[in-house]
């Protein structure tokens, strides 16, 4: 076995693709999901090696639930992948403070708290891997997704800063920044909006969740041992 990986957001399209890829390549997984249990059950039913060690439900927007989730994980963790979260589409001026707080907690503070809890053990072992799935909007910003762009930008900077702090402890911190990926998160777009977006992509197609999972698997491996503090773009040249 290659190690125990805590996968946050395992029930999403990208999270499920990551889980399948890591199971195929010999990792053991601790799965987190928010409310959609069906993909978790599918992963566990297909797990012939019994490599899924546990699955936990927690709402990352609820700090008390996050604290309970952290305490419930009694298995040693060799790596963490943050692949969960949600967006908010609409004008910034129309957002409620509660919606802003929700995005900040889910994408920034909860990942801080989870990392803060598991990092000391990684430092003692002098081995670990922390990965984020961020977003192209964390680099460039998007109208109608102002707060989502902001919190994804915060994830990018957290990756770069923490990587410098823990590199001497042999812990790597990196991220992937997907562009337009064919997931349910993008299904809020009309067909015309989706086509207009795809027309801006040099490869002229949406990305696949499996293509994000492939890069995550590479960043976990020793083949990427000298990659530190990077945000790798997966966007078809957009």
Helix, strand, coil distribution of the chain in percent, nearest 5: 50, 15, 35
SS3 35: coil
Question: CA 32 to CA 54: how far, in whole Å?
Answer: 9
Which DSSP string do the residues of 14-27 spell out, in sequence order? Answer: HHHHHHHHHHHTT-
Helix (H) or strand (E) holding 77: none
Helix (H), strand (E), coil (C) string for 142-156: CCCCHHHHHHHHHHH
Which member of 27, 33, 56, 148 is catalytic? 148
Whether 148 is catalytic is yes
| Residues that are catalytic | 148
């Amino acid at each position: 076995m290659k190690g125990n990986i805590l996968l946050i957001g395992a029930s999403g399209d990208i999270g499920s693709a990551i889980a399948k890829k890591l199971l195929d390549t010999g990792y053991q997984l601790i799965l987190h999901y928010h409310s959609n249990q069906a993909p978790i059950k599918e992963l566990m039913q297909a797990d012939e090696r019994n490599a899924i060690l546990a699955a936990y439900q927690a709402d990352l927007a609820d700090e008390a639930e996050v604290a309970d989730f952290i305490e419930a994980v009694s298995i040693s963790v060799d790596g963490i992948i943050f692949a969960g979260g949600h967006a908010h589409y609409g004008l910034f001026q129309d957002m409620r403070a509660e919606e802003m707080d929700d995005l900040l907690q889910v994408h920034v503070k909860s990942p801080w708290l989870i990392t803060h809890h598991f990092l000391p053990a990684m430092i003692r072992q002098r081995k670990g891997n922390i990965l984020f799935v961020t977003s192209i909007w964390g680099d460039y910003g998007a109208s109608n997704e102002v707060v989502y762009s902001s919190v994804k930008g915060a994830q990018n900077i957290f990756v770069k800063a923490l990587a410098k702090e823990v590199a001497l402890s042999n812990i790597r911190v990196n991220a992937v920044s997907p562009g337009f990926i064919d997931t349910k998160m993008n299904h809020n777009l009309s067909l015309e909006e989706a086509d207009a977006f795809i027309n801006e992509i040099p490869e002229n197609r949406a990305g696949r969740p499996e293509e994000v999972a492939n890069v995550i698997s590479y960043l976990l491996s020793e083949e990427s041992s000298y990659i530190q503090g990077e945000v790798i773009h997966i966007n078809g040249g957009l």
